[in-house]
Amino acid sequence: MKKYTEEELLPLSLIQHLLFCKRRAALVQIEGLWEDNLFTIEGTHLHQKVDDDLPPESRGDLRLTRGLMLHSFKLGLFGKADVVEFHRVIENEADSRSISGGKAAAIPLVGVSGLWRPYPVDYKRGRMRHEEGFEAQLCAQALCLEEMLCVAVPEGALYYGKPRRRLAVVFDDALREKTQEAARRLHELVDSGHTPQARYEKKCESCSMLSVCMPKVTGSHRRVQGYMAKALTQD
């Protein structure tokens, strides 16, 4: 399997952009553009509130860390986790021999007894919903943790700000494959240096890049080009 160098690592947040719209990922990473809208401002505000809304860092069988830096040389990604919880899963130290797919089932933490399993939690604005980009981005965080800590991370959660509820996400084989594929496509896109043509769709109305992307204008431009090519051929 290919391993990326430190210089080649791309922001993990691009996975979500790519799965929403390839052009959006290119506008952000290749062209260095970013536009906030109401949704992204609310999202940023929610991330800033993470510290206020969460329980204390140590509670019984739960430990948590905020803003943990993550990376994966296999995926070629780096980023920051909103929250990584550590759940105590095995009391008996001898069970640390339990191995899942070449990784430990749980790991020891400094200063506390027992073995602990990481559980990433990503904060999202709005109502609770399944979105493949959100789930793949969370899965990318899990794959980073697995690579960094050599421990299995089978599940995490998306925390939605409006209902203040969690949606558990299981990192099954299908989601892992989708995430790895998205990371490969992201590197291909960035390496190509080419920003794909816009195509107006319903989702564009909620996209913060709408005003800089102008999909209706560039889309119609493409239709004009097509019309001209056809007319010239007929002539």
104 is a contact residue toward ligand SF4 (CB under 6 A): no
Give one DSSP letter per residue of 170-218, joined into a string. E--HHHHHHHHHHHHHHHHHHHHT-PPPP---GGGGG-TTHHHH-HHHH
In whole angstroms, how close is the CB of 212 to ligand SF4 at the nearest point?
Answer: 8
Among 45, 203, 216, 222, the residue binding ligand SF4 under the rule CB under 6 A is 203
Q: Which residue, among 132, 123, 135, has the nearest Cα to 161 in the 3D structure? A: 123
How many residues of this chain interact with ligand SF4, rule: CB under 6 A?
13
Q: Which amino acid is at 6?
A: E
189 is a contact residue toward ligand SF4 (CB under 6 A): no
21 is a contact residue toward ligand SF4 (CB under 6 A): yes
18 is a contact residue toward ligand SF4 (CB under 6 A): no
Judged by CB, which is closer to ligand SF4: 68, or 204? 204
Range 26-55, binding ligand SF4 (CB under 6 A): 27
Note whether 224 and 216 are within 8 A (CB): no
Spell 156-190 as b/e; 16+ CB within 10 A means b.
Answer: bbbbbbeeeeebebebeeebbebbbebbeebbebb
23 is a contact residue toward ligand SF4 (CB under 6 A): yes
198 is a contact residue toward ligand SF4 (CB under 6 A): yes
Write out the residues near ligand SF4 by the rule CB under 6 A.
Answer: 21, 23-24, 27, 198-199, 203-204, 207, 209-210, 213, 215
